[in-house]
A and B are shown apart, each in its own frame.
Chain A
Amino acid sequence: MFIELAELWKSNKLTIRTIQHLSMFGIAMAFTIVIGIAVGIIIYKNKKSSNTVFNSLNVIQTIPALALLVFLLPIFGLGALPTIVASVLYSILPIARNTYAGLTSTGKDYIETGKAIGLSNTDILLKIRIPLALPMIAGGIRIAIVFTMGVITLGGLIAAGGLGAPLQTGIHLYDKQLILLTGVWVGILALALDGIGALAEKLLSKKYSYGNR
């Protein structure tokens, strides 16, 4: 049984597929986090734009990920690039939304104290609002991890490689063992990454909140 699985793993190059998968995931997440937080801060600075931006991001979110992926085909073609672009577009919303919510919900006392001891508005944003919003931002990142993992897996369908590819092969060849092996492996990876996100979120909220310490 174990030898059989090892064979299957090797013949389908699942190690390389996993590496491809995680590199796409890593690149996509890096962009998503930077852009998501930036969008959150920009919207915070221009509150009037918040509705427009959130509504547009919301629309993207309602479109099925696969549809978005193939929608980008004429522009980006097949492969890893459109997968990463779609994944970033898809996952910006939770981070931007949580960043914005975190920045606007900073306790009034903290802001008032900040002002009173002579912090400028920029200082208050950088030294008070953003750090205090970190647990919320981490919550957004955790959701984004799940979204990104989903889109990257779909990438296999447009020749991006990664673990979606052996899943597709398995379905096309009706190879139940391959599907099970890859499917369960993807599931484990997804849960592990989600777990890491959850842990980070928990540590941050512990560090950045009063009480329960």
Chain B
Amino acid sequence: MAENKLFNRIESIKIRNISKKYGEIKALENLNLAIEGGELLILIGPSGSGKTTALKTINRLIEPDNGQIKINNHDIMNFEPVKLRRNIGYVIQQIGLFPHLNIRDNISLIPRIEKWDKNRINDRVEELLDLVDLPKIFAKRYPSELSGGQQQRIGLARSIVMDPPLLLMDEPFGALDPILRKQLQIEFLKIRKELGKTIVFVTHDIEEAFKLGDRIAIMDKAKLVQVAKPNELILNPKNDFVSQLVSSHKKFMHMDNLKVKDLMVELSNKYIFESSKNNREVAQKMKKNGIELAVTVSDSKLEGIANFNIICTAKNKDLREVTEKVHTFSPEKCLSEAVAELKEDKNTLAVVVENGRPVGLMLTDKLLLELV
């Protein structure tokens, strides 16, 4: 096994002066970027700015026209591509789970090729399912039986099965419902701490960038514009493009003036379920709508929340029986107080309630918690 490991941890990735052209189109122009071991670096920028191209040069899915990439001071051109890729996890938006393989076989494709023994594979699959918060019984299911969020979790699990020290992620949450996206971001942050990997993460979503990134690299028109810590970007934007991109985040700096309703996510009807409903029916609807959180009501009044995984594993019961209590706020409550309360309770989620009816969701994240 050991001989298949190219590196145990990432000390540094140095991208030097790489360019890539497709015909006349410049996809990347003289990109210089140093990624530090252990950090989560965000690549952000408008569509077509070269983010995906940059990411793919790191695992040699794309070979640049010129320039050089070094991982731990080794030129990656000296590694065999297949071997290099087995040392680098890769997660994409389209998920790319193989429809003909069940979850266990999807996750363990490379371990099986590398002839791990059966017990080791089973243990690893269970460990990873546990890590991404999915029940073990999912191992036998097929991708088409899973919701979008569950598939995305499996995609993540598969990418880290070989315990690669480096993870490349290309808009992994891009296709998900906004609330589910926030839930997964929070889960991902937890996982990330456990894994302690170096991560390069592409996104379109500046909010996501601020929430997850240690540093943010901003790209535009095939070029790197600025790379810095989130706060620096707000305080010292290099040009108008950067300041516009980060402007929406200035509001976080004035949290004292904000109320819960300013930051809550509005709750659309598809999230709300009568607690007397049967779980089988609820699970089907949730899968169809691509959501993983049900807000349960009876007579329009809030009862609590229920999680998709739990609903799935108790299909013969009513929704009421798997509903859990949840923290609630009024929309007029001061935001900083609300966040502080949640932090104290170690909660990440609360329902915003008006006259007993659920109207919105509050999802806390790293940035909010840091600001309190």
Listed in ascending order, the chain A residues whose CB lies under 8 Å from chain B are: 109-110, 112-120, 123, 127-128, 131-132, 134, 207-213
Q: In the complex, what residue of chain A is closest to B155 when comparing beta carbons?
A: A113
Q: Could you tell me if A119 and B113 are in contact, using CB atoms closer than 8 angstroms?
A: yes
With A208-B99, A208-B100 known to touch, is A117 a contact of B142 (CB < 8 Å)? no
A116 engages B100 (CB within 8 Å): no
Selected A-B contacts with CB under 8 Å, 16 pairs: A112-B96, A113-B90, A113-B92, A116-B59, A116-B92, A117-B86, A117-B90, A117-B110, A117-B159, A118-B84, A118-B86, A127-B109, A131-B101, A132-B99, A132-B100, A212-B144
| In the bound complex, CA of A109 to CA of B98 (Å) | 10
Q: Are B144 and A213 in contact (CB under 8 A)?
A: yes
Q: Indicate if the CB atoms of B98 and A110 lie closer than 8 Å.
A: yes
Given A117-B85, A117-B86, A117-B158: A213 in contact with B92 (beta carbons within 8 A): no
Q: Contact at A115–B85, with CB atoms within 8 Å?
A: yes
A161 CB → nearest B CB, Å: 41
Report the separation of the CA atoms of residues A117 and B162 in the bound assembly, to the nearest whole angstrom: 10
The 3 closest A-B pairs by CB, nearest first: A113-B96, A118-B86, A118-B85
CA distance A209 to B98 in the complex (A): 9
Asked whether any CB of chain A lies closer than 8 Å to the CB of B143, the reply is yes
- B1 neighbours in A (Cβ, 8 Å): none
User: Which B residues are closer than 8 A to A by beta carbons?
Assistant: 59, 61, 82-87, 90, 92, 94, 96, 98-101, 109-110, 113, 142-145, 158-159, 162
A208 to B142, CA, bound (A): 10
Residues of chain A lying within 8 A (CB to CB) of residue B113: 119, 123, 127
Instruction: Find chain B residues with CB under 8 A from A120 CB.
Output: 82
Contacts of A208 in B (CB 8 A): 99-100
CA distance A113 to B99 in the complex (A): 12
Known contacts A116-B90, A118-B110; A210 and B99 CB within 8 A of each other: yes
> Given A115-B85, A210-B143, A213-B145: A110 and B110 within 8 A (CB)?
no
Contact B59 A210 (CB under 8 A): no
Query: Does A112 lie within 8 Å of B144, measured CB to CB?
Result: no
A213 to B109, CA, bound (A): 23
Would you give the shortest CB distance from A110 to chain B, in whole angstroms?
6
Whole-angstrom distance between the alpha carbons of A128 and B113 in the complex?
Answer: 13
**Is there contact, CB below 8 Å, between A118 and B145?**
no
The residues of B that contact A212 with a CB separation of less than 8 Å are 144
Across-interface contacts of A213 in B (CB, < 8 A): 142, 144-145
CA distance in complex: A134, B145 (Å):
20
Separation of A115 and B83 alpha carbons in the complex (Å): 11
Measured between beta carbons, the chain A residues less than 8 angstroms from B159 are: 117
On whether the beta carbons of B61 and A116 are closer than 8 Å, the reply is yes
Tell me the complex Cα distance, A212–B144, Å: 8
- Assembly CA distance A123 to B115 (angstroms): 13
State A117–B101 Cα separation when bound (angstroms): 15
B82–A109 contact, CB under 8 A? no
- Taken together as a complex, chains A and B put the C-alpha atoms of A117 and B159 apart, in Å, by 7
- A110-B98, A132-B100 are known; give 5 further A-B pairs, CB within 8 A: A113-B98, A116-B59, A118-B110, A131-B100, A210-B99
Expressed in whole angstroms, the minimum distance between the Cβ of A20 and any Cβ of chain B is 38
Q: How far is the CB of A114 from chain B (nearest CB, A)?
A: 8
User: What distance in Å separates the Cβ of B253 from its nearest Cβ neighbour in chain A?
Assistant: 39
- B99: chain A residues at CB < 8 Å are 132, 208-210
Distance from A203 Cβ to chain B, minimum over Cβ atoms (Å): 13
Q: Which of B82, B145, B158 has the most CB of A within 10 A?
A: B82
Residues of B within 8 A of A118 (CB): 82-87, 110, 162
**A118-B142 Cα distance, complex, nearest whole Å:** 22
Shortest B177–chain A CB gap in Å is 18
Chain B residues with Cβ below 8 Å from A132 are: 98-100
Cα(A83)–Cα(B48), bound, Å: 60
Please, which residues of chain B bring their CB within 8 A of the CB of A128?
98
Closest to B89 in A: A117
Question: Please, which residues of chain B bring their CB within 8 A of the CB of A114?
Answer: 98
Please name the residue on chain B nearest to A127 by beta carbon.
Answer: B109
Instruction: Find the residue from B92, B113, B159 having the highest chain A CB count within 10 A.
Output: B113
What separation, in Å, do the CA atoms of A123 and B144 have in the docked complex?
23
Report the separation of the CA atoms of residues A120 and B59 in the bound assembly, to the nearest whole angstrom.
14
A110 contact set on B, CB distance < 8 A: 96, 98
Q: A119 contacts B109, CB within 8 Å?
A: yes
Nearest-Cβ distance from residue B111 to partner chain A, whole angstroms: 11
Complex CA gap A212/B288 in Å reads 12
Bound-state CA distance A113–B94 (Å) is: 9
